[in-house]
Structure 1
Amino acid sequence: MIPLEFADKLFRSALLSLAGNRAAEAFALKYGLRLGAHKFVAGETLTEALEKIQRLNDKGIAATLDHLGEGVTRISEADSFREEYSRLLIGIRESKADCNVSLKPTQMGLAIDPGRAYDNIKQIVKEARSMRNFVRIDMEDSAYTDDTINIVRRLHAEGYLNVGTVIQAYLFRTEKDIRRLSLEKVNLRLVKGAYKEPKTLAFARMEDVNANFREIIAARLRSGIYTGVATHDEAIIDWVKSFVKEQTTPYSSFEFQMLYGIRTQLQETLAKEGYRVRCYVPYGRMWYPYFVRRLAERPANVLFILKNMIKH
């Protein structure tokens, strides 16, 4: 019999390999939203996404809005994403949504022209600051970890404090990054990690990832610097609740973060219990890579899609 942990790795690896499969992407983009991708993606337009955010806000749940797109190949594409984020920020302000924004550095051109990418990101952060909003620079795979952290540190050094990033618990380097960014008082979202990484860079066993996740959460909560704990793992959530009670950590110093369409009832329950909760709301036409990562995280997500395919 194949060990459960090994089978889970094979499952995740097989699904993640589909992220670059053009035939699978073409099929998904043609039928995906109708067959169930709408569960994880708030729509293809900003209007659709803002409507979903209003429903979340009505339930006491804040949001972070992400216009999906990564790995652009032309700088003109990156400029288009920057322009969309300008419209996105205006849309948040006009709708009076309780919402900040998330973006990926590669969609701003990091893999093509790092200097231009920095300028694009800085413009968005500057516009957000003028609207009293916050920008989360998402973390992608390990090839971009250093560049992403350096962008945030540079922006902070230039006085843009309304920007933070994401730290992934499955990387060996994480503890060092946490220490440095905490000293610089950078707002962080802590996650387990969802990319396929080599054994030389990341923990292979989930129990090691979970142990490191708890350690970095504890370090951040003790620091008093605002932190987003991003997880759907109820064991981790219960551990955080016990930890903050024991440490008398104020609820105002952290928030739970979860993804749109996943553990919706749990999000509502936590909000009713008085915890700050923020939902990551993605939208846009380039949703396929994001969608594949959500499927790879849990077999139940795949079953949901298969059921919808059978229905149709």
Structure 2
Amino acid sequence: MSLTRDFFIALSKNQLLNNGAKKWGLKLGASKVVAGTDINSMMKSVKELNANGIGATIDNLGEFVYSKEEALEAKASILETLEAIQQHGVTAHMSIKLTQVGLDVDYKFCLENMREIVAAAANYAIFINIDMEDYSHLQQTLDILHALLEDYDNVGTVIQSYLYRSEKDLENLQNVRLRLVKGAYKELSEVSYQSKQDIDMNYLKLIKLRLQQPAFTSIATHDHHIIDAVKKFAKENSIPRDRFEFQMLYGFRSDMQKELAEEGYAFTTYVPFGQDWYGYYMRRLAERPQNINLALKSLVSK
């Protein structure tokens, strides 16, 4: 299992394959977990979710950005998506990777791009979630978050339970809206838990700590054992349902997503779209190797 995970994570970092994937279109099963390559197809999916009482956090996919021109193009696409959210009146916010808007190009350049994005989102009362990437980008991500929080309150980020430092980061972000996840990258044992059991234990620990803090929390997991434990903890500790939500990825456990929304829990689906789907899809295969069946079935049907 770990070898399979490592294999797909390595594939997700291959820029040559990423470039080729843009020409393939949403093949290899990716159309099951990516909501199209353009705004119109994505909006159709978001409206279907909204009709079932489910919100969306939209990811305009983009990776391997190493020039200012590419970052500016990505920023323009994100601003266009924000306008579409406003115009269509959907229940949605956005999730953004800092590398997409220039973090690997220049820190100050990235920060200015994010200031423009967050300011535009604030005008529409839209929340911006800064996705957490691999460990090498973690501290810069938090630094940019704190810089943005000096002027805006519609921005937050992600805490990954497989990192040793996450409990301390959680304490430093008590008043900031956060998403809690297990983590989707391959990290060294010096900085992260390696076993599923340790990661799961720390994840549940962080969730319980966080739910007793004041700010809104998104609990992103497909693990029904974790979800049941959260329900029980919230009930036993009289934590109101408007203080947290569950999140899952688009295309995964759709029946459970609807069930949780029908039970009265706030629910948001992570909706990725765009031409740059390859890296995202490879990480989904790494997390859930059974999804390889999607790719194999897609290839056979071509």
Query: TM-score w.r.t. structure 1 length?
Result: 0.94
Cα distance in 2 for partners of 1:224, 1:230 equals 18
Residue in 1 that maps onto 2:70 = 77
Q: Aligned-pair distance for 1:278?
A: 0.2
Task: Give secondary structure in 1 for the equivalent of 2:100.
Answer: helix
Residue in 2 that maps onto 1:142 = 135
Select the residue among 49, 65, 70 that pairs with 1:56: 49
* Equivalent residue runs for 1:74-223 within 5 Å: 74-158=67-151, 160-182=152-174, 185-223=175-213
Cα distance in 2 for partners of 1:179, 1:55 equals 37
Structure 1 pair 109/40, CA: closer, same or farther in 2 (3 Å)?
Answer: same
Structure 1 pair 115/54, CA: closer, same or farther in 2 (3 Å)?
Answer: same
Structure 1 pair 277/120, CA: closer, same or farther in 2 (3 Å)?
Answer: same
Task: Give secondary structure in 1 for the equivalent of 2:268.
Answer: strand
Residue in 2 that maps onto 1:245 = 235
Cα distance in 1 for partners of 2:28, 2:196 equals 30
Structure 1 pair 105/23, CA: closer, same or farther in 2 (3 Å)?
Answer: closer
Cα distance in 2 for partners of 1:224, 1:274 equals 21
Q: Aligned-pair distance for 1:224?
A: 2.9
Residue in 2 that maps onto 1:300 = 290
Where structure 1 has 5 or more consecutive residues not aligned to the other structure, the ranges are: 1-7
Structure 1 pair 188/58, CA: closer, same or farther in 2 (3 Å)?
Answer: same
Select the residue among 249, 274, 277 that pairs with 1:287: 277
Task: Give secondary structure in 1 for the equivalent of 2:65.
Answer: coil
Matched, 1:262 2:252: yes
Q: Deviations over 1:2-54 (max 9, x none)?
A: xxxxxx11110011111233564466444462442111111111111111100
Q: Deviations over 1:270-309 (max 9, x none)?
A: 0000000000101111111001000111122111211221
Cα distance in 2 for partners of 1:124, 1:87 equals 10
Cα distance in 2 for partners of 1:260, 1:31 equals 21
Cα distance in 1 for partners of 2:282, 2:31 equals 13
Further displaced range: 87-96 or 19-28: 19-28
User: How many corresponding residue pairs?
Assistant: 302
Task: Give secondary structure in 2 for the equivalent of 1:33.
Answer: coil
Q: Deviations over 1:89-110 (max 9, x none)?
A: 1100110000001100001101
Structure 1 pair 231/90, CA: closer, same or farther in 2 (3 Å)?
Answer: same
Further displaced range: 194-203 or 26-35: 26-35
Q: Does the 8 Å contact 2:18/2:276 carry over to 1?
A: no
Cα distance in 2 for partners of 1:89, 1:21 equals 29
Q: Relative contact order: is structure 1 or structure 2 higher (C-alpha 8 Å, sep ≥ 6)?
A: 2
Q: Aligned-pair distance for 1:76?
A: 1.1
Task: Give secondary structure in 2 for the equivalent of 1:195.
Answer: coil
Cα distance in 1 for partners of 2:7, 2:79 equals 37
Task: Give secondary structure in 2 for the equivalent of 1:257.
Answer: strand
Structure 1 pair 211/303, CA: closer, same or farther in 2 (3 Å)?
Answer: same
CA RMSD across the alignment: 1.3
Task: Give secondary structure in 2 for the equivalent of 1:178.
Answer: helix
